[in-house]
Amino acid sequence: MKIRRTIKEDILELALLYKQFWNEDSSIELMEMKFIELQKNSNYILLSALEENHLIGSVLGIICEELYGECKPFLLIEDLIVDHKYRRKGIGKALMTEIEKLALKNDCYQILLITHNDRKDAIAFYESLGFNPDTHKGFKKTLNDK
């Protein structure tokens, strides 16, 4: 298994991974346009996990700036996904380990993420990586609901 920065050629397989989780199609054209836009912003880190040149996992990290204290940035994790055929094989842990290294390299002082309350497997996974669900409470408000 290899982890590297995502490239445009990964987008089609990434759309298929997202469909596994959300059970809805993504516009490849829109994804490619957004990907090109995100590549221009160094605060966006999109990683791909590959096995035999096939995308089997991905994670998006966004470096956010802070205005208080020492004004150090933090990393927000979004869209960690592993192909259902490759789960429980260390892919998610490898992606999270790599993105944590990049967070440290960018002087981030913490990593934040949210997951649905009913995703007990995901909660246990994040706890195994040292994330503490008891220190903060996250909230979500959906705008312009479909």
| CATH T-level assignment (fold) for domain 2-128 | Aminopeptidase (3.40.630)
The alpha carbon torsion through 8, 13, 17, 20 (nearest 10 deg) reads 140
What are the tens digits of pLDDT across the range 134-143?
888 888 888 9
Q: How far is CA 58 from the centre of its chain?
A: 6
List CB contacts of 23: < 8 A, sequence separation 6 or more: none
Query: Residues 37-88: pLDDT tens digits?
Result: 999 999 999 999 999 999 999 999 999 999 999 999 999 999 999 999 999 9
Domain boundaries, the chain: 2-128
Torsion sign, CA atoms 32, 46, 146, 19: positive
Query: Which pTM value belongs to this model?
Result: 0.93
- 3-class secondary structure, 12: helix
Query: Running DSSP on this structure, what letter comes out for residue 135?
Result: S
Burial class, 48, CB count within 10 angstroms (exposed 0-12 / middle 13-18 / buried 19+): buried
92: its two tokens: 């998610």
Burial-class residue 105 by CB neighbours within 10 Å (0-12, 13-18, 19+): exposed
Q: Which residues contact 52 (CB under 8 A, 6 or more apart)?
A: none
Element (H, E) at 75: strand 74-82
Which residues are CB-contacts of 32 (< 8 A; sequence separation ≥ 6)?
8, 11
113-134 confidence digits (pLDDT tens): 999 889 999 999 999 999 998 8
